[in-house]
Amino acid sequence: MSDESDDIQLPEPPVVTGGPDACFDQADIDALFGFDAGSSPVQKSGLKAVIESNVISHERMPMLEVVCDRMVRTFSTSMRNLTSDAIDVTLEEVTSIRFGDFMNRLALPAMIGVFNVAEWENYGIVTVDSSLIYAVVDALLGGRKGNEPVRIEGRGFTTIETKLVSKMVELALSDLASSFEPITPVTMQLERIETSPRFAAIAGTSNICAVAEFRVDMEGRGGKFGILLPYATMEPVREKLLQRFMGEKLGRDRMWEAHMVSEIRQTEVSVDVVLGEKELRLREVMELQVGQTIPLNRGPDDPLELHCRGVPLGRAHIGQRSNNIAVRILNDISKGLPR
């Protein structure tokens, strides 16, 4: 080998001092991955940065949280009737997440129920973790209260376990549909139960979804289940879910509308009855004198026009009632003059 190889210097590996319990600082981590001290990782830009961004921008749906709160009360009663145990259901959080991220972080083994919303023509997902699965099966098969159910690792769920958990999922979907009733009538039907996230893909990995996490406590045993609804599924009722309170109407106030209707009906309106019309030259108008008669070519039984500030309203007959001159309307004023 030549002597020139002695002049080549290789980068020294990062040295961590302080014994085996010492932690890496940021400089050591940068050096480990090959970044210089003054440089930073390459930042993405353009459409790629938007698609691969971890920051999720979404609209908050206050009414969806109200629906989930209503479901907590109804589902607690349904579970008590199903298991005859003291059930406590709580809503932990309502968040937004990408569909792919949700599926990747799903703790397996778990049951994934795919349901269809007929009115919205789309799908949603109910996920049940293993703790709640074994707790429901133990409760429905007469297990002793307060004991942690025995879990057998390394095996799939049996047909009996799947059927029993399907009953709980159908109850949850029925209560969720009834909670949506004040906002919009929906029908949620469970289609199938899957154990692999690959077979429960109802949306793209980058699609934004709303996830409601619930916890069920059954006297010392229980677990969590979640309901996932893609934003595309909720698009038909998005405006209603964006309301801040039940029955809110954006841009319209029914109380003010009712007040205006009542006040308009009490408004005094002056109407004019046109006995007839005749065209005259300006010289003839200037030569008019007191007592002069102007023929209008109208008979006593001919219908007269009814006007309000020059706007024709309809036709009427002139007459007399209680020593007063009166008119009788011949057509519906709301429809105007007949053509």
Residues 6+ apart with CB under 8 A from 302: none
Residue with tokens 């020593």: 323
For range 52-79, the mean pLDDT: 78
Q: Are 224 and 106 contacting, i.e. CB atoms less than 8 angstroms apart?
A: no
Number of domains in the chain: 2
The last residue of a domain, from among 241, 261, 287:
241
Alpha-carbon span 69 to 64, nearest angstrom: 9
Q: Are residues 81 and 229 in the same domain?
A: yes
Alpha-carbon span 207 to 228, nearest angstrom: 12
Q: Are 185 and 119 contacting, i.e. CB atoms less than 8 angstroms apart?
A: yes
Domain region containing 304 = 300-339
pLDDT of residue 82: 86
Q: Are residues 191 and 315 in the same domain?
A: no
Q: Are residues 215 and 339 in the same domain?
A: no
Task: Provide the token pair at 27.
Answer: 């400089």
Q: Are residues 122 and 221 in the same domain?
A: yes
Peptide bond into 109 cis (omega under 30): yes
Task: Give per-residue pLDDT as tens, 155-205.
Answer: 678 888 899 999 999 999 999 999 988 888 899 999 999 988 889 889 888
Q: Is residue 213 in a domain? A: yes
Half-sphere exposure of 198 (CA within 13 A, CB side): 0
Q: Are residues 197 and 332 in the same domain?
A: no
Amino acid identity, position 140: L
What is the value of pTM for the model shown?
A: 0.56
pLDDT of residue 275: 81
What does DSSP assign to residue 13? P
Q: Are residues 224 and 308 in the same domain?
A: no
> Residue 141: pLDDT above 50?
yes
Sign of the alpha-carbon torsion through 54, 55, 60, 66: positive
Where would I find the beta strands (DSSP E) of the chain? 88-98, 110-117, 122-129, 188-194, 208-217, 222-230, 272-274, 304-308, 311-321, 324-329
Alpha-carbon span 304 to 288, nearest angstrom: 25
pLDDT of residue 14: 47
Q: Are residues 193 and 104 in the same domain?
A: yes
Reduced to 3 states (helix: H, G, I; strand: E, B; else coil), residue 290 is coil
> Residue 152: pLDDT above 70?
no
The CATH number for 153's domain is 3.40.1550.10
pLDDT of residue 212: 92
Instruction: Write phi, then psi, for 259 (nearest 5 degrees).
Output: -65, -40
Q: Are residues 237 and 305 in the same domain?
A: no
Q: Are residues 186 and 71 in the same domain?
A: yes
Other CB atoms within 10 Å distance of the CB of residue 112: 23
Q: Are residues 195 and 69 in the same domain?
A: yes
Reduced to 3 states (helix: H, G, I; strand: E, B; else coil), residue 324 is strand
Q: What percent of the chain has pLDDT over 90?
A: 17
Task: Give per-residue pLDDT as tens, 235-268.
Answer: 888 888 887 665 545 445 678 888 888 888 888 8
Q: Are residues 91 and 201 in the same domain?
A: yes
Strand order, beta sheet including 110-117: 88-98, 208-217, 222-230, 122-129, 110-117, 188-194
